[in-house]
Structure 1
Amino acid sequence: MFELLLAELTRAGIQFRRYLFEAVGGIVISTAVFYGLFLSVSYIAGPGLAFGDRLDAIIVGYVLWTLVLFIMANISGTLQREAQTGTLEQLFISPFSASQVFLARAVADLLLQAGLIAAILVIIMALTGRWLAFPLTLWLPLLTVLLGAYGLSFAIGSLALMVKRIQQVLGIFQFALLFLLSVPTEEWTGNLRLLGDLLPMSPGAGLLRNVMARQQALDLQQLSIALVNGGVYFAIGLVLFRWAERYTKRHGNLSDY
């Protein structure tokens, strides 16, 4: 598995160098969209607007949304590109299982994408003048968000494996992701709080807002809920992907486009 990850890191590095302009363009577009929204809200609300720590929480949610969008599009996008170029079957006859190949590719791409996400976050903080906290404890809730994101990515990838083109579905799903990562479910109470704990990635996103924006101590009980949430969605995504792989092979349309 380490050999596979190393090969994928090499591939990702080569692509990153050859298409550096696209990466820079992604940084510019992502920061411009957020800053445009920020200026629009500030203009509408007038000079008396006071965001408080809400702006910090919005920044956390937006950056998480940008990161999860990349993860969501990674596996399904790879499947569609490989189907178009006619190399999809090669991935499925490698010595590694298909889920291992796509997971290693996703992790390798994420390691490079993390630098771009960090650049977007720094630029947004500089433009808005709001500087978040970065305690070491933030890695634990971030891990739960990544688990949930990869689980959903494998679930969407299973759909792409069967029908090959799902751009419209991904477009609609982006708005649902914005809701999941931006709405402060950690402030909900009663049955709504229970619903928030069941939504994918929502508990981990709430913890990140508390730790980075509100500078609160890490809630271990809520962290346990977030870990279970991320682990369950990751397992569901893998199960769906493996089922879709068997279904596609059984019907003989793995390389169809």
Structure 2
Amino acid sequence: MLNLFWAELRRSWIQFIRYPADAIAGLLITTLVFYGLFASARYIAGPSVQFGDRLDAIVIGYVLWTLLIFIMNDIAVGLQAEAQTGTLEQLFLSPFGASRVFLMRAIASLTLRLFLTLVGLLIIMAITGSRLNFSFSLFLPLSTILLGAYGLSFALGALALLLKRVQQVLGIFQFALLFLISTPTEDWTGSLQMLSRILPMTAGAGVLRELMAEGQALDWNELAIAFINGAVYLVVGVLLFWQAERRAKQRGLLSGY
């Protein structure tokens, strides 16, 4: 598995240095889009408005959203690209298995994406004046969010494996993902609080906002709930991918686009 990870990491790095303009353009676009929204909101609210912690929470939600869009699209878009180039069947004949190949490929590409996301976050903080709290404990809630994101990514990959073209479905999920990540579900009470612990990635996003935007101490109980949530979605996503792989092989969908 380690050899597979290093091979996929080398593959991701080669693609990055061969086509750097694509990654840089994506970073600039996401940054400019947020700045446009921020400038429009300040113009509407007036020059004297003070966003306070809300601005920090919005920055966190937006940056997380851009990162999770990449993660959720990674496997599905990768499957479509492999199908179009005619190499999809070769991946499923790998001795590692298709699910392991795509998981290691996703983790390898995430390594580079995290660096670009951090650069984008620093740029957004500079142009908006947001002040976020950084500590090593941030990796704990972030890891729970990534678990859930990869679970959904495998589920979307299962759809791509069977349907081949899922661009419209991915677009719908992107807007739903913006709601899940940006809504302050940590403030919900009663039955809504229970719902926030069931929805994917919302528990981890709430803990991350409390740490970075509000400067609160790490809530270990909420973190444990977030880990369970992310692990469940990851297991369900992988199981759906395995089931889709079996049906695709039975229906002979791997050899052609």
TM-score (norm 2): 0.99
1:222 corresponds to: 222
Counting only pairs closer than 5 Å after superposition, residues 227-238 of structure 1 correspond to structure 2 as 227-238=227-238
2:28 alignment partner AA:
V
2:66 corresponds to: 66
2:219 alignment partner AA:
D
1:249 corresponds to: 249
Write the deviation string for residues 6-54 of structure 1: whole angstroms up to 9, x where unpaired.
1101100100001100011011000000000000000011123221101
Q: Distance in 1 between matches of 2:253 and 2:221?
A: 46
2:6 corresponds to: 6
Counting only pairs closer than 5 Å after superposition, residues 18-57 of structure 1 correspond to structure 2 as 18-57=18-57
Q: Which moved more, 1:45-54 or 1:134-143?
A: 45-54
**1:104 equivalent in alignment to 2:104:** yes
1:164 corresponds to: 164
2:115 alignment partner AA:
G
Q: Distance in 1 between matches of 2:227 and 2:255?
A: 36
**1:73 Cα shift?**
0.8
Q: Distance in 1 between matches of 2:107 and 2:55?
A: 30
1:155 corresponds to: 155
2:87 corresponds to: 87
**1:175 equivalent in alignment to 2:175:** yes
Write the deviation string for residues 58-117 of structure 1: whole angstroms up to 9, x where unpaired.
101111101100001100011000000000001000110111000000000000111110
**1:131 Cα shift?**
1.9
Q: Helix, strand or coil for the counterpart of 1:13?
A: helix
Aligned structure 1 segments of 4 or more residues deviating by more than 6 angstroms: none
TM-score (norm 1): 0.99
**1:248 Cα shift?**
0.3
2:155 alignment partner AA:
A
**1:172 Cα shift?**
1.2
2:187 alignment partner AA:
E
1:205 corresponds to: 205
Q: Distance in 2 between matches of 1:24 and 1:248?
A: 36
**1:130 Cα shift?**
1.0
What is the Cα-based RMSD across aligned positions, in Å? 0.6
Q: Distance in 1 between matches of 2:112 and 2:103?
A: 15
Q: Distance in 2 between matches of 1:135 and 1:210?
A: 12
2:118 corresponds to: 118
State the number of aligned residues.
257
2:217 alignment partner AA:
A
Write the deviation string for residues 219-246 of structure 1: whole angstroms up to 9, x where unpaired.
0110010000000000000000000000
Q: Distance in 2 between matches of 1:84 and 1:7?
A: 22
Task: Name structure 1 gaps, 5 residues minimum.
Answer: none
Q: Distance in 1 between matches of 2:227 and 2:200?
A: 11
Q: Distance in 1 between matches of 2:141 and 2:238?
A: 21
2:184 corresponds to: 184
Q: Helix, strand or coil for the counterpart of 1:141?
A: helix
1:226 alignment partner AA:
A
**1:256 Cα shift?**
2.7
**1:202 Cα shift?**
0.2
Write the deviation string for residues 172-203 of structure 1: whole angstroms up to 9, x where unpaired.
11100000000000001111111011100000
Write the deviation string for residues 116-137 of structure 1: whole angstroms up to 9, x where unpaired.
1011000000000112111111
1:181 alignment partner AA:
I
